[in-house]
Structures are given as C-alpha cells and as structure tokens.
Amino acid sequence: MTAPMTPTSAPVRPFTVSIPQAEIADVKQRLARTRWPDPETVGDWSQGVRVENARALVEYWERGYDWRRLASELNRFPQFLTEIDGLDIHFIHVRSKNPDAMPLLLTHGWPGSILDFLKLIGPLTDPVAYGGEAADSFDVVVPSLPGFGFSQKPTETGWNASRIASAWVELMGRLGYAKWAAQGGDWGGAVTTALGAMEPEGLVGIHLNTQFAFPAQIPDTLSPEERQAVESLALYTGGLGGSNHLQGTKPETVGFALADSPAGQAAWIYEKFQSKTDNHGLAEDALSRDDMLDAISLYWFTNSAASSGRIYWENKAASFAGPRLTLPVAVTVFPKDVPRLPRSWIEDTYSNLVHYGEADKGGHFAALEQPEILVNEIRAGLRSLRS
C-alpha cells in the first residue's frame, strides 16, 4: 500500500548536524561560571528543581557529556530540510527495505524533539532485525516542529496545532506517500489529533499516547477512574503546570531567562522530566543523564527556548477536551501519564477505536521512557489499517 510515488513539489535538501567546536567550548565555559541560587527550603521537589540534583546534572554536562556522540548518532539517519508554508522543516526520513511498508509520521512534543524517536526507528523500519514480523514494517518520517530543533523558527504568529498538521500533510505528499498513518504524544498528540480531525486524503489512521478526550462538560457523577482523571488534570494544570503557564503567557520572557544560561535551560527541562516520568523519586530512574542532556543540549545549541515555548502561546485556547474523531484511532495509555484518561471517555471520543492498550509501566514521555513498549503498541494499533 505504500510504494512511494514520484515527489512532485519543492526540493528536499539533505541536512547534516554540525555544531562548531567554539559553541561546545562556550557552553562548557558558561556552565563552569554558573551562579547557583540558594537551596530550596523543603525536602522535596515542590518548589521546583532541587539545587543538589541540578548541580550534579550540570557538572556532568560540563565535564562528562559528549555532544559529538549525539551528533554522530543523528547523522547516521538520513536528514533533510524542505520549505513548507514559508519555513524550512527539518526531518528524518528512513525507508524500510520492505516495499509494502506503511509510511508513519511521528511527531514529538515539548521538551521533546526528534531525539525521542531515535530508538524506535530501527525496530519500526526493520522489525525482523528486532524480533518482529516483516509485515509490521514502516517507512518512518520524523519532523521537528516549527521552532524546535533544526526546523526554522516562525517569525509570525499562527503556528498552532492545526497549521502544523496542514504542513505535515504537505510533507507526506511531497515525499510521495498516497496512504500513511500518524503517531504522537504531548504536543505531538495534539498535532496528530488535529490531523485526525482534518481527515486529509491519504491518512488511514492515527496512534496516540496522549489522548484529548475529556468531556467538554465534566459529569456530576464520576466513576473512580474518571475521578482520577479529573484529579490528574488538576495536577497537570496546577502543581505541575508552572512551565506550561509561563510558556503559554510569556514565552519570550522565558526565552530571555534561558537563552543566556545553559544551567537555567537544564533546570527548566530537568524539572519537567522529573515531574512527568515513571520514576521512583528521581528522573534518573526513568531516563539516563545522557538522555536528558541530549534533549537539553539540542534546545541550547539551537537557541530554541523561546521559539519552542511559543507552541503553548499559540495554542493557549486548547484543552484536553478534544474533537470527536471518526477515522481509525489506536490508543495506548501509560500508567504514570499526567493527565491519565479513563477508557470510558476515550471510547466515547474516538468512535472508531481500533486498538486500546494499557502499558504496565511508563509516563508522559513514552518514546523516551519505554521505546520497546511503544513500538509494540504502534505495531498492534496500526496493524488492521494495512489493507
């Protein structure tokens, strides 16, 4: 179903990651000169990132972390730029050796990036090499959201989830795909949901590990699972929502605060990994320091604190009460996701639910935390759409 047609639109140019050594030296010098705040006055993370933990992460970034390793890993994959709607969009594109592979568009969120999916590309494009079946092969397309990573930064307003979804439709057509599927979580889930609502020609279905399925009006009577969902949403918008609120209201101020301080950028993202991963007290239980610093370094070297944060500002009217979708939808719920939605609301919102899965571990950043589980869920969720 997926033999690529001949592309018919604007050129697609190769791209290679290359960060000058002077920039790497600069960040190490800045880290060495970090002026640290006073320690928190509580014994937990309720005031934000703990100074002791941030110091350990930043000291490793300065003395032990190797950006060149990550750049080499990225450059093992075919990367490209193409101009869509006035912006250069960066993406990874890996074709399977299987001519019947299903094209799959993977969209990241914040503070994510294309790095979230690096461990998924091999198993998705070459499942046999990872113990799977050839029939589950995918061609994989992984774009960087506008203003994120190596994609160009918007210089005008209007880049909300729907506009990004329209750009993704153009991208998949430009690559020659007549039929394709899409997957996403966090903001990637919002963009993928917008794709589902648009139902563009060629989109056969979607897989979501972040679901936008809250009722527009919360019922007075709730099951225990539904009440837990309401409580988790209150936590998401309340105690865990500091960075979301600031980026949704003052993203440029956030950019000023972080653009000149790599330690500040590290703390900003580290706290998010701490609060939304499936961990036992520290983010390092779920993600390695290298995993976290890969993400942090990409934001630093691309100076994208402000431009990425604007996705919250552009979508500040959005909510977790998403549109009702009629195209095929596959869903995987991870136990430590925040917010975590009940099956009853998911089934009510997605009338053509082709797969419902519950993982036994994992949090909000499923691709980074549990890549093997997510690969298996994507395979199972989209298998029925291959005819």
Is 364 one of the catalytic residues?
yes
Is 65 one of the catalytic residues?
no
**pLDDT for the residue numbered 7:** 45
**pLDDT for the residue numbered 139:** 98
Annotated active-site residue in 126, 186, 294, 337:
186
Long-range contact list for 27-36, CB < 8 A, 24+ apart?
27/61, 27/262, 27/297, 27/300, 27/301, 28/62, 30/261, 30/262, 30/263, 31/58, 31/59, 31/61, 31/62, 31/262, 31/263, 32/62, 34/58, 34/261, 34/263, 36/263
Annotated active-site residue in 90, 93, 207, 364:
364
**pLDDT for the residue numbered 387:** 76
| Cβ-based neighbours of 122, under 8 Å, separated by 6 or more | 129, 130
**pLDDT for the residue numbered 10:** 62
**pLDDT for the residue numbered 2:** 41
**pLDDT for the residue numbered 309:** 97
Tell me whether the omega of the peptide bond preceding residue 103 falls within 30 degrees of 0, making it cis.
no
Is 186 one of the catalytic residues?
yes
**pLDDT for the residue numbered 48:** 95
What would the pLDDT profile of 150-202 be if each residue is shown by its tens digit?
999 999 999 999 999 999 999 999 999 999 999 999 999 999 999 999 999 99
**pLDDT for the residue numbered 240:** 87
pTM over 0.85: yes
Annotated active-site residue in 312, 337, 350, 355:
312
**pLDDT for the residue numbered 239:** 86
Q: CA-CA distance, 149 to 300, in Å (whole number)?
A: 9
Report residues of the chain scoring pLDDT below 70.
1-10
Q: Would you say 87 and 146 are in contact if contact means Cβ atoms under 8 Å apart?
A: yes
